[in-house]
A = this chain, B = another copy of it.
Amino acid sequence: MAENGARRIRLGMVGGGTGAFIGYVHRIAARIDGDYELVAGALSSRPDVARESGKNIGLAEDRVYTSYEEMAKAEAARPDGIEAVSIVTPNHMHFGPAKAFLEAGIHVICDKPVTSTLEDARKLAEIKPKNGAKFLLTHNYTGYPLVRQARELVASGALGKLRVVQVEYPQDWLTEPAGEDNKQAAWRTDPARSGAGGCIGDIGTHAYNLARFVTGLETEAVSADLTAFVEGRRLDDNVNIMLRFAGGAKGMLWASQVAVGNENGLQLRVYGDKGGLEWRQDNPNYMWFTEFGKPKQLLTRGGSISVPPAASMNVRIPSGHPEGYLEAFATLYSQFAAVIRGEGADYESLLPGMEDGVEGMQFIAASIRSSQNDSKWTRLDEV
C-alpha cells in the first residue's frame, strides 16, 4: 500500500465518463490503497460529457481531453504528466489507446478482454513499449486473497496431481432482450463493439482466466457449444465448454447470462489426487480445502497454523471482516503501483498481463471456432 511513504502514481483514464460502470470501479480501486492520484482523462469523445465528467471527479480543465491520441501526446510531454493510464472503454476501443500509451512510454491498466479480436491482441503484443512501459490486464478476480491462496496451495502440491477442473460463471441479467437504452447491455451484445463473443468474452474469459491462474495448467483444446437463447440476440448468452489440459487433466466451463437467480456466480473447483478446493466469488472470503480422507476445512483470509496465508495476499483487515470485489480490484492496482515504482518484482508473475490477454483471445477464438464446427476439439494454438 502507499502507506509506506511511497509517492502516488499520476494516473489518467480513457473512458469512464459519468454513468459508466467499470470506469467508476477502476477509480475506486485506484483510491482504496492510496497509490494513485487521478489527474487526467479522456472520459468521453463528446466534449460536453468529457468536460462534465472531468469536473465531477475533480480533474483540472486543461487535463480533460476528448481524444486519447491527444491525451497520450500532451501528457507524455508534460513534466508532471501521467505515469499510467486506465483504459475502461468498450472492448473494440481497447486496442487504440493501449497502443498509443504504451508507445508513449505510459504504463497501461486495461480492462479485459485485451481487445475485441485475436488479431488485434497479437498486434498489441508485438508493440515495443517505450521505456519499458508495463501492461496490466484487470482480471480482477485474481486479486481475491483466497484465489491467491488457492494458487499457492496448488503450486505447493497440496492437491497432488490435478485431474478435474470445474469453473462456472452464471449471471441472469440478460435473461430478457435489452434495448439500446441499457448502455451496459447494448455494447456487450453488439458484435461491432464487443467482438465476436458475447457471454464468452464478457465473463467466459474471467472464468477461464481464473482457472488458469489457480491451476497453472496449460490448455490443449476446447470443445464448445455456444448458444444465443434470447431471440434476436447476435452474440452468445450461454457457453458450454469441455477442456483438455496438458498432462491429462480435464475440465468443464459454463458461463451464462440467462441463468435466472444467479447474480454473479463465479465459482471454481479443482481436484487432484491428494486434495480438492472450492471457491465462490459471491462469498469470497472463504474457501473449502479438503485433503483426501480428512474433513473439509473452511479456509479464511486469515489462514491458520496448518495453512498459512498466501504470501501474495494483500490482506487489509482481519478475517471475519469481509473484503470484497473492490478490494480485490484494488490489490491489482496497488501491486501494479509497486511494479511501476520498481518495488514489485514479486508481483510481476502474479499480475495478469499481455500474455494472458492474448491467451484469453485465443480461448475465445478457439471456442467460437469449435462451436461453429459442431463442438470439434480445437487447439488454442491453432486459431
CB atoms of B319 and A263 under 8 A apart:
yes
Interface: A156 (CB within 8 A): no
Instruction: Pull 26 A–B residue pairs with CB atoms less than 8 Å apart, ordered by A.
Output: A25-B316, A31-B31, A32-B326, A34-B57, A159-B260, A163-B229, A163-B238, A164-B229, A164-B238, A240-B250, A240-B252, A242-B242, A258-B271, A258-B273, A260-B292, A261-B275, A263-B300, A263-B319, A264-B321, A282-B285, A293-B305, A298-B298, A317-B326, A322-B325, A326-B327, A375-B375
Question: 7 tightest A-B contacts by CB?
Answer: A263-B320, A264-B320, A261-B290, A260-B276, A322-B324, A324-B324, A261-B276
Quick check: is A198 within 8 A (CB to CB) of the other chain? no
Known: A319-B263, A322-B284. A58 touches B305 (CB 8 A): no
- A45 beta carbon closer than 8 Å to chain B: no
Could you tell me if A295 and B290 are in contact, using CB atoms closer than 8 angstroms? no
- A316, B22: Cα distance in complex, Å: 11
Structural contact, A278 and B261, CB atoms closer than 8 A: yes
Q: What string of 1s and 0s marks CB contacts (under 8 Å) between A227-271 and chain B?
A: 101000000001010101000101110101011111111000101
Report copies per complex: 4
Q: Describe A's contact surface by its main secondary structure.
A: loop
Tell me the complex Cα distance, A289–B271, Å.
23
Q: Is A166 an interface residue (CB 8 A)?
A: yes
8 Å CB contact of A318 from B254, B263, B284, B375: B263
Q: Tell me if A288 counts as interface (CB < 8 A to partner B).
A: yes
Q: If the complex has contacts A256-B271, A300-B295, A316-B24, are A377 and B377 also in contact, measured as CB distance less than 8 A?
A: no
Chain B: minimal CB distance from A347 (Å):
20
> What is the interface residue range for chain A against chain B?
35 or more
Q: Say yes or no: is A5 at the interface (Cβ < 8 Å to chain B).
A: yes
Q: Please tell me if A349 contacts chain B, counting CB pairs below 8 Å.
A: no
Task: Give A residues with C-beta under 8 Å from B.
Answer: 2-5, 7-8, 18, 21, 24-25, 27-28, 31-34, 55-58, 159, 163-164, 166, 168, 171-173, 175-176, 223, 225, 227, 229, 238, 240, 242, 244, 248, 250-252, 254, 256, 258-265, 269, 271-278, 281-285, 288-300, 302, 304-307, 316-327, 374-377
| A296→B261 contact, CB < 8 A | yes
A55 touches B5 (CB 8 A): yes
Task: Please tell me which one of the listed residues B27, B252, B261, B275 contacts residue A260 in the complex, with CB atoms under 8 A apart.
Answer: B275
Contact at A282–B320, with CB atoms within 8 Å? Answer: yes
Quote the shortest CB–CB distance from A207 to chain B (angstroms): 13
> Bound state CA distance, A265 and B300, in angstroms?
13
A18 to chain B: which residues have CB within 8 Å? 3
Chain B residues with CB under 8 A of A285: 282, 324
Q: Give A100 to B377 CA distance when docked, in angstroms.
A: 46
A27's partner among B34, B159, B376 (CB-CB below 8 A) is B34
CA distance in complex: A244, B374 (Å): 12
8 Å CB contact of A283 from B254, B262, B283, B323: B283
Return chain B residues, CB-CB under 8 Å to A2: 58
User: Per a CB cutoff under 8 Å, which of B229, B293, B300 touches A304?
Assistant: B293
**Cross-interface CB contact of A273 among B168, B223, B229, B325, cutoff 8 Å:** B229
